[in-house]
């Protein structure tokens, strides 16, 4: 069997690995495509640079791809460099594992003002995504971050942290230089619900509460719990630990550090206010618990002067050409990984896995369970696979070359990898990321190495 996987993030790589290792009565050869010149998806372009332990998952993903039984095609975009019709010509089936790269919308007045940023865009900047701008406006002294998920914590931490403390990571020079110019003194994180309803994880919250050179401040009025909150605290260990972490900050006097991280709860964003087209304040409505862990508005509004707002209210998947898409949830329409047509019938040969299958929630490890479910469907569906007319491996390389697509195979990726490590070594760092697509291509196709 010849299988195409579109998306070389953890979901795509786990799916390939699981299928190779699955009990099956047929030979298999897998090609893994990604529009980026680098593999690993959000592990490389989402996980914060100061989380080296998580970035370390790249080592395990690398080992899968380095075995030689899965071919990598970087710099190849499904929809333009390769189409569904072409995949049908070369493969028996395809899995889409295209994840999510953009911000969910926050529909409040003022989101279009200068200084109102999507968290995903900021992440793409500091993680050096090649298709996003190289500069970032960090002139704001006071900043609002909306949302109580781990992305909000990542963004707040990177904004509050001393840039020098990031220098040991793989951030490129433009990001370090940008952060050095930051004027940030106060980062306010606003959650619309309470301490027992946060979507953080315990380690990440503890880390955010103890950033070197930053005072973390909580507010007495925000420590309220209803029956729904108590149930969550009693039944969920993670909630209990996080509530304890937040409770332990109550009444602590600030040390007088020159940066502060303020954690506000029961504060729903209502409007981003502006002056001269630029963000000047955030208006929130205070909320209160409804008895079940949900909240309702109180009608009390407050304004906080801020010069930038980061919206970290979740990610959202993107539609792919010729593939059914559920625009409400931002996922490929599917059942257990089988992609469905408008009538709800499984489309032969087309599958989905990872965040584009079940939405942008969950950790890297969760994509493995996803992949298992999708792989089980593929194995059960042998009779409905496509019948490719050009199943030879080389026909794919030929098609891309004929089209002038400069695809990056695994040997080329290894050259890029070595280049990044060499850049790092020169600065006594493990690696420094390349940023520009052209730099990837230069490193990939360099002569004599």
Ligand X SMILES: Cc1cc2nc3c(=O)[nH]c(=O)nc-3n(C[C@H](O)[C@H](O)[C@H](O)COP(=O)(O)OP(=O)(O)OC[C@H]3O[C@@H](n4cnc5c(N)ncnc54)[C@H](O)[C@@H]3O)c2cc1C
Ligand Y SMILES: NC(=O)c1ccc[n+]([C@@H]2O[C@H](COP(=O)([O-])OP(=O)(O)OC[C@H]3O[C@@H](n4cnc5c(N)ncnc54)[C@H](OP(=O)(O)O)[C@@H]3O)[C@@H](O)[C@H]2O)c1
- Between residues 286 and 433, which has the closer beta carbon with respect to ligand X? 433
- Between residues 16 and 144, which has the closer beta carbon with respect to ligand X? 16
Helix 366-380 × helix 10-21 angle, to 10°: 50
Whether the CB-CB separation of 349 and 386 falls below 8 Å is answered with yes
Residue ranges of the alpha helices (H) in 219-307?
227-235, 237-247
**In the chain, how many H helices and how many E strands?**
16, 20
Which of 204, 215, 270, 412 contacts ligand Y by CB under 6 A? 204
If one asks whether residue 269 binds ligand Y (CB under 6 A), the answer comes out as yes
If one asks whether residue 154 binds ligand Y (CB under 6 A), the answer comes out as yes
Q: Report d(CA 184, CA 160) in Å as an integer.
A: 7
Which of 74, 314, 354, 388 contacts ligand X by CB under 6 A? 354
Residue 180, binding choice from ligand Y, ligand X, none, Cβ under 5 to 8 Å by partner class: none
Whether the CB-CB separation of 15 and 28 falls below 8 Å is answered with no
If one asks whether residue 380 binds ligand Y (CB under 6 A), the answer comes out as no
If one asks whether residue 361 binds ligand Y (CB under 6 A), the answer comes out as yes
Residue 262 CB, nearest approach to ligand Y (Å):
16
- Measured in degrees and rounded to the nearest 5, phi and psi for residue 403 equal -85, -5
Q: For residue 250, give every residue at least 6 positions away whose Cβ sits within 8 Å of its Cβ, in sequence order, or none.
A: 218, 220, 223
Whether the CB-CB separation of 400 and 82 falls below 8 Å is answered with yes
Residue 110 carries which DSSP code? T
User: Among residues 448, 439, 396, which one has the least CA distance to residue 419?
Assistant: 439
CA dist list (Å): 261 to 80, 149, 218, 365: 44, 15, 9, 29
If one asks whether residue 396 binds ligand X (CB under 6 A), the answer comes out as no
Binding mask 306-345 for ligand X (x = CB under 6 A): ---------x----x-------------------------
For tokens 């971050």, the residue is 145
Whether the CB-CB separation of 320 and 110 falls below 8 Å is answered with no
Binding mask 293-322 for ligand Y (x = CB under 6 A): -------------------xxxx-------
Q: Report d(CA 47, CA 152) in Å as an integer.
A: 12
Q: Mark the segment that binds ligand Y (CB under 6 A) among 181-189, 195-203, 281-289, 432-440.
A: 195-203
Residue 123 CB, nearest approach to ligand X (Å):
4
- Between residues 185 and 201, which has the closer beta carbon with respect to ligand Y? 201
If one asks whether residue 149 binds ligand Y (CB under 6 A), the answer comes out as yes
C-alpha distance across the termini of the chain, in Å: 34
Q: Report d(CA 421, CA 8) in Å as an integer.
A: 21
Which of 5, 8, 145, 146 contacts ligand Y by CB under 6 A? 146
Residue 130, binding choice from ligand X, ligand Y, none, Cβ under 5 to 8 Å by partner class: none
If one asks whether residue 110 binds ligand Y (CB under 6 A), the answer comes out as no
If one asks whether residue 208 binds ligand X (CB under 6 A), the answer comes out as no
Give the tokens for residue 81: 């460099």
Residue 197 CB, nearest approach to ligand Y (Å):
6
Which of 10, 130, 147, 228 contacts ligand Y by CB under 6 A? 147
Q: Mark the segment that binds ligand X (CB under 6 A) among 59-67, 220-228, 357-365, 389-397.
A: 357-365
Based on the number of CB atoms within 10 Å of its own CB, is 417 exposed (0-12), middle (13-18) or buried (19 or more)? middle
Binding residues vs ligand Y (CB under 6 A): 106, 146-152, 154, 191-193, 197, 199, 201, 204, 268-269, 312-315, 360-363
Binding site for ligand X (CB under 6 A): 6-12, 33-36, 41-43, 46-47, 51, 54, 77-79, 97-100, 123, 151, 154, 315, 320, 354-355, 362-364, 367
């Amino acid at each position: 069997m010849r299988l195409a996987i579109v998306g070389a993030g953890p979901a795509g790589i786990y799916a390939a690995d699981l299928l190779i290792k699955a009990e099956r009565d047929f030979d298999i050869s897998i090609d893994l495509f990604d529009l980026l010149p680098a593999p690993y998806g959000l592990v490389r372009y989402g996980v914060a640079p100061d989380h080296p332990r998580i970035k370390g998952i790249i080592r395990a993903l690398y080992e899968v791809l380095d075995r030689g039984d899965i071919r990598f095609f970087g710099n190849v975009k499904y929809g333009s460099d390769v189409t569904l019709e072409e995949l049908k010509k070369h493969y028996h089936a395809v899995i889409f594992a295209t994840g999510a790269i953009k911000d969910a919308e926050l529909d409040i007045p003022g989101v279009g003002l200068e200084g109102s940023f999507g968290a995903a865009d900021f992440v793409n900047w500091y993680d050096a995504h090649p298709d996003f701008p190289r500069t970032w406006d960090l002139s704001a002294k006071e900043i609002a971050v909306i949302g109580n998920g781990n992305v909000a914590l990542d963004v707040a931490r990177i904004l509050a942290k001393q840039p020098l403390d990031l220098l040991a990571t793989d951030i490129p020079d433009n990001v370090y230089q940008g952060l050095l110019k930051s004027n940030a003194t106060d980062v306010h994180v606003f959650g619309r619900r309470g301490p027992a309803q946060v979507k953080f994880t315990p380690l990440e919250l503890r880390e955010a509460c103890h950033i070197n050179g930053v005072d973390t401040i909580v507010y007495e009025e925000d420590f309220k719990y209803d029956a729904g909150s108590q149930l969550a605290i009693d039944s969920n260990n993670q909630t209990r630990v996080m509530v304890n972490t937040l409770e332990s900050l109550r009444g602590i006097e600030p040390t007088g550090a020159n940066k502060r991280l303020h954690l506000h709860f029961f504060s729903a964003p209502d409007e981003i206010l502006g002056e001269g087209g630029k963000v000047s304040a955030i208006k929130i409505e205070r909320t209160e618990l409804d008895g079940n862990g949900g909240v309702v508005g109180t009608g009390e509004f407050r304004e906080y002067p801020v010069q930038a707002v980061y919206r970290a209210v979740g990610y959202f998947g993107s539609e792919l050409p010729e593939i059914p898409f559920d625009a409400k949830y931002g996922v490929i329409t599917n059942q257990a990984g089988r992609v469905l047509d408008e009538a709800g019938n499984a489309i032969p040969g087309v599958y989905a896995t990872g965040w584009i299958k079940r939405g942008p929630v969950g950790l890297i490890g969760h994509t493995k369970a996803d992949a298992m479910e999708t792989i089980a469907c593929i194995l059960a569906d042998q009779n409905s696979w496509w019948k490719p007319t050009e199943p030879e491996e080389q026909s794919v390389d030929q098609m891309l070359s004929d089209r002038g697509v400069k695809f990056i195979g695994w040997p080329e990726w290894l050259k890029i990898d070595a280049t990044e490590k060499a850049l790092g070594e020169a600065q006594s760092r493990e690696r420094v990321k390349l940023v520009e697509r052209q730099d990837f291509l230069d490193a990939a196709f360099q002569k004599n190495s």
